[in-house]
Amino acid sequence: VQLVESGGGSVQAGGSLRLSCAASGSTFSFNTMDWYRQAPGKQRELVATITRVGSIYYADPVKGRFTISRDNAKNMMYLEMSSLKPEDTAVYYCRARRSGEFFWGQGTQVTVSS
């Protein structure tokens, strides 16, 4: 399984970005799919999770600003990010879980300037 993120970039505070995660296999086989992020000098943290049946979790810092979704027909997962803040600056990774296995993408950089 390969996961490939795209859509990162540089934006000003208050702007929006849409991240995509493309899977080489069927996303329907994944129990959960997540977005994580890692800022310089900080630990990787969970941003949002979506289950196969559509249950969703958001970390408190992104609630109300980020929206996670998945399109199993296209083998894609997305993260719509709005009202971006400088503290959202990080490398964003997608992760998928299938049974006891975890798969990670290579990450995409998001930089938010004030």
The terminus-to-terminus CA distance of the chain in angstroms comes to 37
Q: Mean pLDDT throughout 55-81?
A: 96
At 10, is the pLDDT very low, low, confident or very high (cuts 50, 70, 90)?
very high
**Where would I find the beta strands (DSSP E) of 1-114?**
3-6, 9-12, 17-23, 32-38, 45-51, 56-58, 66-71, 76-81, 90-98, 101-104, 108-113
Q: Mean pLDDT throughout 82-108?
A: 96
pLDDT at 36 over 90: yes
Q: Find all residues with CB under 8 Å of 9, minimum gap 6, and list them.
A: 17, 109, 110, 111
